[in-house]
Amino acid sequence: MAISLSINGRSHSVDVDPETPLLWVIRDSIGLTGTKFGCGISQCGACTVHIDGQATRSCVMPASQAVGKKITTIEGLANNGKLHAVQQAWVEVGVPQCGYCQSGQLMSAAALLERRKNPTNGEIDSAMAGNICRCGTYLRIREGIHRAAKLLSA
């Protein structure tokens, strides 16, 4: 069945079973592989995208439910080549190790900073607890979020 999805400001027409999780449509049908598969049951956060600005686990969202919504993936976080503050902060702090979870971490962090300009460590913990990092970069993620908050307020 053909459905139309708006991803990173572009319209894509894809022929998929409507209950296919958005994650697989993004990765395999459209070819945006920055969003990752980690668990398939919204336990790890690697699949996090923004749906109308809200951090959403795309592995459990049927693609048909994303029709008519504004979808942003990691590839769309930067603005015309200029890195988003969280991406800039991640580079400055040197956050990623294997990097596989980081697309999801960045999307969750960006969504947090949209609604909370200067989050406390406790607020960061709550907002980010759904994103697993097996390499254990949590301390640097936290530092990156604080750094991004500073960049945004500058």
Partner 1 sequence: MLGFYMPVARAAKIDSKPWTAPPQGTEVNAWLAIGADGIVTIRVPHTEMGQGGLTSVALLIAEELNVEWSKIRAVFADPNRHLRNNKEYKIMSTHGSQLVALQHPHLMLAGASARERLKEAAAQAWGVPRSGIEAKLGVLTAGNRKGTYAEFAAAAAKVKLDKEPEIKSPGEWWLLGKGHQRLDIPNKVDGSAQYSIDIRVPGMVYAAVKASPVPWGTLKSYNFDAIKSRPGIIAAIPLRAVPGKRGQPDMQDAVAVVADSWYRAKIALDMLPIEWEFGDSAKASTGVYFNEGRKLFDVAGLVSGKPNPKAAEIIANSKKVVTAEFERPFETHARMEPINATVHVQKDRVDVWSPTQDQSVAVELVAEQTGRDPKDVYAHTMFLGGGFGGNGAGGTGVTRQAAEISKQLGRPVKVLWAREEDLSQDKQRPLSMNRLTASIGDRGLPEALTSRGVWFSMDGINQVGPATADYAVWNMPYEIPNRHHERHNVKTHIPSSTHRAPGANQHGFFTEVFVDEMALAGGWNPLDWRIEMTKSKPDYQRVLAMLKAKANFRTNLPRGEGMGVAVVECHGTIAAACATVTVSRRGQLSIDKVVVVLDSGHVINPHTATEQSEGSVCWELSHAWLGGLDLENGRFINTNFHNYQLVRMDQMPVVETHFALSGGKKWGGLGEPAGPPVPPAVANAIFHATGKRIRSTPFRLQDLSWS
Task: Kindly indicate which of the ranges 28-36, 50-58, 64-72, 111-119 contains the residues binding partner 1, using the contact rule CB under 8 A.
Answer: 28-36
What are phi and psi for residue 23, nearest 5 degrees? -50, -45
Can you read off the two tokens belonging to residue 2? 């053909």
How far is the C-alpha of 114 from the C-alpha of 133, rounded, in Å?
A: 22
- Looking up tokens 């962090």 gives 109
18 touches partner 1 by CB under 8 A = no
For residue 11, the minimal CB distance to partner 1 (Å) is: 20
Q: How many residues bind partner 1 (CB under 8 A)?
A: 65
Residue type for 11, please?
Answer: S
Binding mask 56-95 for partner 1 (x = CB under 8 A): -----------------xxx-xx----x---xx-xxxxxx
Give the dihedral sign, CA 73/78/81/86. Answer: negative
Query: Residue 130: what residue type?
Result: G
What torsion, rounded to 10 degrees, do the Cα atoms 31, 61, 72, 144 define? -100
| For partner 1, the closer CB: 1 or 67 | 1
Strands 54-57 and 48-51, sheet pairing: antiparallel
- State the nearest-atom distance from the C-beta of 139 to partner 1, in Å: 6
Residue from 60, 70, 97, 151 that binds partner 1 (CB under 8 A)? 97
* Residue 119 found at the interface with partner 1 (CB under 8 A): no
Q: Which residues bind partner 1 (CB under 8 A)?
A: 16-17, 20-21, 24, 27-29, 31-41, 43-44, 46, 73-75, 77-78, 83, 87-88, 90-103, 106, 124-126, 128-143, 147
